[in-house]
Amino acid sequence: MTLVTMTAPESGPVAVRQGGLVIPGTEVAFGGFASLLGFPSVEASGRNPATERDVYLLGMTDAGLQLARVDVNDINKYGKYSYFHPQFLNFSNQSPDPQTRDSRALYLSGTFTSGTIFYSPYFTTFIMVYFNRMADSTFYIRFLDLERNHGDSDTWIRGGKGGMGIQAEDAEALLWYSWSPEQPLYVSPTGKGGFNYAGTAHPEYFNRQYYAASLYPDGTSAVQRRNNWYGAELVKEADASSDGRHLLLSWTSQIKGGFGTGVYEIQLAKVEFDDIPSRSSSAGSSLPPSSPAPTQDTEPAQPPDCGLRCLGRKNSGNGLMRPLAIKLIKGWVGLALMCGLQAAWEALQTV
């Protein structure tokens, strides 16, 4: 893993590597799957949550995901990293074995090739959208279930932090709650060259609350701590009904396969989530406080079919993450698609 500085001049996006590798190639590539900015741990003494932040970095192995944490000011100092040990629910300076297949030693078991983890103000929890290793060109989705807490924390209890839910910088919640079972979100259309890869979600396009409040300069009012509505050409903000109800997806399509002779294209689709349905424990979803709650050791059943309405096809289902509609966006964007860049958005040609 290395650090890159990204800028967006009028001539187009520019990425510049900052030094060499931060994490040796023999270790888990923390941050290679996703990273989140969060408050210091509630148990950390001497840390000021008003001015200090940690970065939570997730890396992929052949057996699942592993998690590390570091002060944001030390992100380029590998010796400052600490590593999560799920069997003990704690961090230490002992990095995990990249070859382990012991589920007790993995943050999350499964297969992953690319993905995104982000806080959704629409669902008021963290969402994971990703491709797995099935090479089926399918986006899968999970959510952090705030009704399925584990451990004996007095803070991270059922219902979120202090039982009051979580906010975007409560990344420590990733340690104390379980992820929902995997369920399909969208099957992306493939090119003639074979399966798609590099599936990624871009939640910032239809969400003014995407960027963490702490990233804005001190003294910035709450009203001003809101990023642009980048997706106005596809969804007008007035028609969106809520931040995070819509989601932009991207993937690389193999127009023509072949080693050294392939032709590739980045393609896009827009997801619109349905109204949040009444949630039941059998759906594997997070329950509102008024709903009967399962016991803490109850594992929810696999969620039902997601109920996609994709390109005119309508399926049934009541999954929490059910999309109302998915629209494929036509247009060559090449390497210009980069998170949060207005210039890249303006280059899209939509249907």
Q: Name the pTM for this structure.
A: 0.80
Report the length, in residues, of the chain. 351
Q: For residue 40, what is the DSSP state?
A: P
Q: Is the pLDDT of residue 351 over 90?
A: no
In a domain, 162, yes or no: yes
In a domain, 236, yes or no: yes
In a domain, 120, yes or no: yes
Integer Cα distance of 204 and 210 in angstroms:
5
The pLDDT confidence band at residue 325, using thresholds 50, 70 and 90, is low
Q: What percent of the chain has pLDDT over 90?
A: 57
Q: Is the pLDDT of residue 285 over 60?
A: no
Lowest mean pLDDT among 78-87, 145-154, 222-231: 222-231
Coil, strand, or helix at residue 204?
helix
Integer Cα distance of 298 and 50 in angstroms:
37
Question: Which tokens hold the place of 96?
Answer: 């995990």
In a domain, 181, yes or no: yes
Lowest mean pLDDT among 159-163, 183-187, 309-313: 309-313
Integer Cα distance of 344 and 66 in angstroms:
32
Are the C-beta atoms of 23 and 70 separated by less than 8 Å? no
Are the C-beta atoms of 97 and 105 separated by less than 8 Å? yes
- Of 327, 345, 313, give the one whose Cα is nearest residue 202: 345
Are the C-beta atoms of 247 and 273 separated by less than 8 Å? yes
In a domain, 241, yes or no: yes
Q: Is the pLDDT of residue 211 over 70?
A: yes
Query: Per-residue pLDDT tens for 73-130?
Result: 999 999 999 999 999 999 999 999 999 999 999 999 999 999 999 999 999 999 999 9
Q: Which residue has the higher pLDDT, 203 or 344?
A: 203
Residues 224-247: what's their mean pLDDT? 90
- Of 250, 236, 227, give the one whose Cα is nearest residue 336: 250
The pLDDT confidence band at residue 297, using thresholds 50, 70 and 90, is very low
CA dihedral 154, 158, 164, 168 (to 10 degrees): 90
Are the C-beta atoms of 249 and 139 separated by less than 8 Å? yes
Integer Cα distance of 65 and 142 in angstroms:
14
Integer Cα distance of 321 and 323 in angstroms:
6
Coil, strand, or helix at residue 115?
strand
In a domain, 24, yes or no: no
Tokens 């699942």, residue located:
64
Query: Per-residue pLDDT tens for 46-62?
Result: 898 888 999 999 999 99
In a domain, 102, yes or no: no
State the average pLDDT for the chain: 80
Select the highest-mean-pLDDT range: 126-140, 226-240, 252-266, 278-292: 126-140
Q: Which residue has the higher pLDDT, 285 or 36?
A: 36
Are the C-beta atoms of 2 and 334 separated by less than 8 Å? no
Q: Is the pLDDT of residue 308 over 70?
A: no
Select the highest-mean-pLDDT range: 5-14, 136-145, 331-340, 341-350: 136-145
pLDDT of residue 50: 86
Q: Where are the alpha helices (DSSP H) in the chain?
A: 173-176, 237-240, 342-346
Residue span of the structural domain in which 287 resides: 113-346
User: Which residues have C-beta within 8 Å of that of residue 93, sequence separation ≥ 6?
Assistant: 81, 82, 83
Integer Cα distance of 53 and 56 in angstroms:
10
Q: Is the pLDDT of residue 17 over 80?
A: yes
The pLDDT confidence band at residue 212, using thresholds 50, 70 and 90, is confident
The domain tally of the chain equals 1
In a domain, 126, yes or no: yes
- Of 88, 95, 28, give the one whose Cα is nearest residue 64: 28
